[in-house]
Amino acid sequence: MIQNSKIYDKYFVLDTNIILEDFSNIKNLSEEGKNLIILPEIVLDEIDSKKSGFEEINYQARQFARFLEDSTIEESYKVDNCQIIFLEISSVSIHIISKSSYETDTKQISLNISNDRKILEIASFANRYYPKTIEFISNDIMARVRATSLNLETTFLKGDGKEDLALEYIKEIDIDFEQLENIENKNILDIDEEYLPHNFSYCMNVKNSDQVLLCAIKHGKINPLDETMLREQIIAPLNKEQLFFTNAMLDLYYNIIIVEAKAGSGKTLLALSSGVKLIRQKNYQRIIYIRNSIESLDKGEDIGYLPGLEEKFAIYNHPLMDSLKYMARSEHKKKNTNKKQYIAPTEEEIEEKVSQTIQNYSIETMWVGEMRGRTLSEAFIIVDEAQNISNKTMQMILSRVDSTCKVVILGSNKQIDNFYVNKYTNSLTTLLKSSSTKSDLVHLYTIKLKKVLRGPITQWAESIF
């Protein structure tokens, strides 16, 4: 057992992804020095390799490096073939452990697997020599499985530890026919005494009839939806969820809209269509599309602020380009509906229409790595794939937005591809949880789109996976 005068409450061995998700995780886990943070040397090597670049993980790597610069080496000695360095940094106790030789044969397995196994070798050593059982923390399920096979206690970061809140964003109630009279701008508490801040929308079923009144709640007042007006755009909403979503986007009262939606629910299409309509009405000057794609994690140098129809614009923003093409085909079909024989547009005509749309409505893409220090004004902003965006990155994005903008944030916790976040720690979950309380700073609207409209294959995949 390692001889150390201080006994800590808990002993944590951290995987690289815990620091690259947010370097301040070290401070939080330390709890002002109550717990010991153990870092394998491989973790330092992996973080060092991520310092160059403009992605969130590169920023976190640099922040961690600056954090280490303030450290003081308290002690260093060898145990077996391991070198242990004791660091103290702002009330955080850190032990860095390296080995002179590893059991892992790096010639026969890939580098990432080799590094994982070296990290676990250090964790196994720590588990034998520290006075208490260590806990290996990683957001990588494969690393945790390997750790379990080595009889190590393991877990992952769960944000604030709370499970997903089952908030009722669309509430269904029954009302009497007489209550329909003068219902507009009536206080919602007069109709529903159990109203809560996250009940943003209501389906009011009129008793003894098939009539359903769709309403949004603003300032605690009931606002019935104008369904005819909402359908007057390139992409018309097809169900009540889409009607609520579209109403919130077109209503200038709301400035932050958060949407969790299944694949194929039409979220990006409707957001673009509503943005186009608002620009036609001269409410905003441009549409900005922001997507922290997984591709960009390794190819950050290839993307940036790319207006127009450059090749990379299409490569890194497929959802946007697909939606623009779908809108072009839909608009073409509407204009030619009354003709005796409908002739589908050619691919060249679609590309030309997309190019015109991008130019006419000032549609721009923006990469999160180049947003620091900027201010976004007079824009309808679509932030896509929020489930792959960390809290720190989302904070940075929203801090760039001034009061003349509307922000629509889209995502799905069933489609997390980012290695450095999970459903507990990503920005989408954080934003959804924020909906449970009323804010005096912003006019927030939140909804979940549960109906898949892309087709039976998508719906089937959603149901089984």
For the domain that residue 22 is a member of, what is the CATH number? Answer: 3.40.50.1010
User: For the residues 66-72, what does the mean pLDDT come to?
Assistant: 88
Range of the domain at 327: 245-464
In order of 166, 218, 224, 246, 431, the CA distances from 202 in angstroms are: 16, 12, 9, 15, 21
**pLDDT class of 420 with cuts at 50, 70, 90:** confident
Closest alpha carbon to 369 in 296, 455, 420: 296
- For the cut 70, the answer to whether the pLDDT of residue 105 exceeds it is no
Task: Give percent of the chain above pLDDT 70.
Answer: 88
Q: How many domains does the chain have?
A: 3
Task: Kindly report which listed range (81-85, 122-126, 292-296) carries the lowest average pLDDT score.
Answer: 292-296
By three-state DSSP, how is residue 381 classified? strand
Last residue of a domain, one of 100, 127, 155: 155
Does residue 6 fall inside a structural domain?
A: no
Looking at 116, 131, 155, which one is the last position of a domain? 155
| Rounded distance between C-alpha atoms, residue 443 and residue 218, angstroms | 9
Provide mean pLDDT across the span 41-59. Answer: 87
Query: What would the mean pLDDT of 185-206 be, rounded to a whole number?
Result: 95
Question: What percent of the chain lies above the pLDDT cut of 90?
Answer: 57
Say whether both 365 and 304 belong to one domain. Answer: yes
How far is it, in rounded angstroms, from Cα 68 to Cα 91?
13
Residues 30 and 91 in one domain: yes
Mean pLDDT over 367-372 rounds to: 76
* Across 115-129, 148-162, 318-332, 372-386, least confident range: 148-162
Q: The tokens of 47 are what?
A: 């973080």
Task: Write the CB contacts of 214 (distance below 8 Å, at least 6 apart in sequence).
Answer: 201, 202, 203, 204, 224, 225, 227, 240, 243, 244
The answer as to whether 409 is a domain residue is yes
Token pair belonging to 204: 């009011």
Residues 82 and 147 in one domain: yes
The DSSP secondary structure of 6-51, one letter per residue, reads ---S-EEEEPHHHHHH-TTHHHHHHTTTTSEEEEEHHHHHHHHTTS
pLDDT value, residue 300: 35
- Are 313 and 330 contained in the same domain? yes
pLDDT of residue 151 exceeding 90, the answer is: yes
pLDDT at 99: 93
pLDDT tens figures, 176-188: 999 998 999 999 9
Quick: pLDDT tens for 163-175: 445 789 999 999 9
The pLDDT of residue 462 is 59
Q: Which residue has the higher pLDDT, 263 or 376?
A: 376
